[in-house]
Structure 1
């Protein structure tokens, strides 16, 4: 697959940009529409219960990451991606009817099957396969940057819909959810006709025994746990971003419509810039881990500033600038940490297993973090937001340490005969 034709690479990359940028919008919708979605779900004043929806989704994810990795190493990614996109969109159409809290939990559990079991590891392995060994960082960075471009377009569309019907939160959010669901279903249909086959010789395990061996071997690889640490850092930072807009509204006094606009464009524009710079930097530096180190340091400094600067109307704009900088840093990790899998010399038939195991560990915060933050904010609003900033800083410190160790392992691998021989063959 490293010799995949450029035209096939481009088509696959574009479809994956559309896919990755939409499939997680609905499960994580509270990140950008925290208060309006809470109102639509009739959970106002119940921040802990509201956060539990995402935690239920996270718990199901954790259970399914491991078998999802096995599935990605066993079946053609294209088929898995099609099932995932159409299934997630169909569940979104159900959510838009705003059923009972119990049914909302059922939907979030079902989303774990369509966004993790059949999608997550398969989507990352898809890019791993179409990219050559010398373009992993630039390919993953381009993917993340493309998601930013698609995100700006879709965000503008969704924000326009929300603003048009914002007088009725339930109605506005219904239109947003339905629109996103339709886009996902259309992308799934497009994959059927436009995406080439995404498997190759040696990239999948034929028998059950081979699959089990690959999974067990992945448990022994250092990259599995280093990747888990980097994922954890970005996971907590991403979740923490959902509290930036509420902090501006509840502590600094920003207007709610302005916070929705800030939350959407802050995330999408920063993803575009952060990932775009990552693609260029990874190619220029020759490896992905080095630029992650810089991003980790920047993230820690920005969260420290948010902890130390008191929230107020007078400090609202300086705080916004710091928030924007902190949001620029975490997409660097998301754009590049999967590139390290190949840069460190991992076999193609083990990629799915490495991603599955690392995701199981790295995304553990999804099982409790938002409900924990919600409980902290309910008990003490100002102190609760400070708790968010402190935990984000600690998580990114973990990611930084893992990026530093990964960088050393990449350099070590590039001195091996295996890597030097691959350069001669290339």
Structure 2
């Protein structure tokens, strides 16, 4: 049964994985990568404060929470490539709406729309198609390649977007008028929309023969499966780790604004800081997967949370001053690396925690619904902290909160480590 993925030739398999990687990242360019890299400019052009942008993210998060569970059965009923193509095209059309620089009310509606297109129609088909690609033999490698590849795509396209943005900005960035900023940002929106549409075309032609591999019996949402999973302490500990790690991931949205406001970087330099953080992801995610197989997922998760916590404490302590660039970049790379390593280890924890294969979907549903709640609360929380305490203090409070989350996650990871079987390599069956 799990041999069905071998019907594809090696070249077809490579192209299929490439399509999954490109689509898996392109779908999130408009809602998340754009504000991550260009946050200072986005706030200026749309006339928003941090809280207002955070509320738009929160609308997305609420819609996404609603979408995780029904997305699973939908992916069981319809071919992955059809759902993914519809999701990509709809998301790209949303980009055209963003390019009109809509009002705050319309922006919230747009983010709610993206919550449906990126999660209900896309997330479960992506996970399922990736599992089909890996089969029973290579599930870890499949997800490692997916997340590392997605990171590489995000960093490469992000760097290209910064270069494009710089072309449309005056040579002295500080003198840019609002019209110039708007025109430059609009070009980036068009670039991201075009890439999202191109990803839809790639998926349509690259995935047609992947569907036969999707015939494994799916027991995603059987009540018995959900109840079994809910009784597993490892799943709850994993969920706590995911929440804390995801808070860290959302917190990285602040690095470009931090560089701009505290270290006095101009808008192009600040955007480059945002992309540097993203360049760490492909290396950290793949390395974490390999090291997790070698030394144990629980051990690597614990170490990653420790590094994430230390990095957050350093920023929260307010030690950085304009000119301390090397120390800042070293801290940024280490902290980003730890956060992205955790993303590479999320789903591997299920195997370490001995979640039965047939209950994987139920576990993914529970972990996703609870674990991704930072999509709902982190945007407004960051907005309140950064707007109520403008300047460095707001950033320090934000990173103090990240440090607290890292500590909570660390406790959960140590408990997970204590109660899971010791042999990290026991997956020969």
1:19 corresponds in structure 2 to 23
Greater displacement, 15-24 / 405-414 = 405-414
Query: Is 1:324–2:333 an aligned residue pair?
Result: yes
Give the 3 Å change call, closer, same or farther, for CA 182–217 of structure 1 in structure 2.
farther
Among candidates 159, 162, 165, match of residue 159 of structure 1: 162
Please give the alpha-carbon distance, in whole angstroms, between the structure 2 residues aligned to 1:2 and 1:390. Answer: 46
Query: Is 1:86–2:89 an aligned residue pair?
Result: yes
Please give the alpha-carbon distance, in whole angstroms, between the structure 2 residues aligned to 1:157 and 1:241. Answer: 20
Please give the alpha-carbon distance, in whole angstroms, between the structure 1 residues aligned to 2:282 and 2:111. Answer: 27
Please give the alpha-carbon distance, in whole angstroms, between the structure 1 residues aligned to 2:19 and 2:297. Answer: 23
1:114 corresponds in structure 2 to 117
Please give the alpha-carbon distance, in whole angstroms, between the structure 2 residues aligned to 1:405 and 1:134. Answer: 29
Query: Is 1:192–2:194 an aligned residue pair?
Result: no
Please give the alpha-carbon distance, in whole angstroms, between the structure 1 residues aligned to 2:411 and 2:21. Answer: 29
Contact preservation (8 Å) 1:228, 1:361: yes
Give deviations 1:323-348, integer Å, cap 9, x for gaps: 22101111111112112224444344
Greater displacement, 160-169 / 130-139 = 130-139
| Paired residue secondary structure (2:321) | coil
2:231 corresponds in structure 1 to 220
Query: Is 1:278–2:261 an aligned residue pair?
Result: no
RMSD of aligned Cα (Å): 2.6
Query: Offset at 1:350?
Result: 3.2
Query: Is 1:10–2:21 an aligned residue pair?
Result: no
How many residue pairs were aligned? 412
TM (normalized to structure 1)? Answer: 0.88
2:401 corresponds in structure 1 to 391
1:50 corresponds in structure 2 to 53
Greater displacement, 20-29 / 101-110 = 20-29
Query: Offset at 1:105?
Result: 1.0
Give the 3 Å change call, closer, same or farther, for CA 139–408 of structure 1 in structure 2.
farther
1:365 corresponds in structure 2 to 374
Contact preservation (8 Å) 1:289, 1:340: yes
Query: Is 1:248–2:259 an aligned residue pair?
Result: yes
Give the 3 Å change call, closer, same or farther, for CA 203–226 of structure 1 in structure 2.
farther
2:301 corresponds in structure 1 to 292
Please give the alpha-carbon distance, in whole angstroms, between the structure 1 residues aligned to 2:114 and 2:165. Answer: 23
Give deviations 1:143-180, integer Å, cap 9, x for gaps: 22212322233123211211111342221221111211
Among candidates 225, 248, 264, match of residue 237 of structure 1: 248
Contact preservation (8 Å) 1:75, 1:204: no
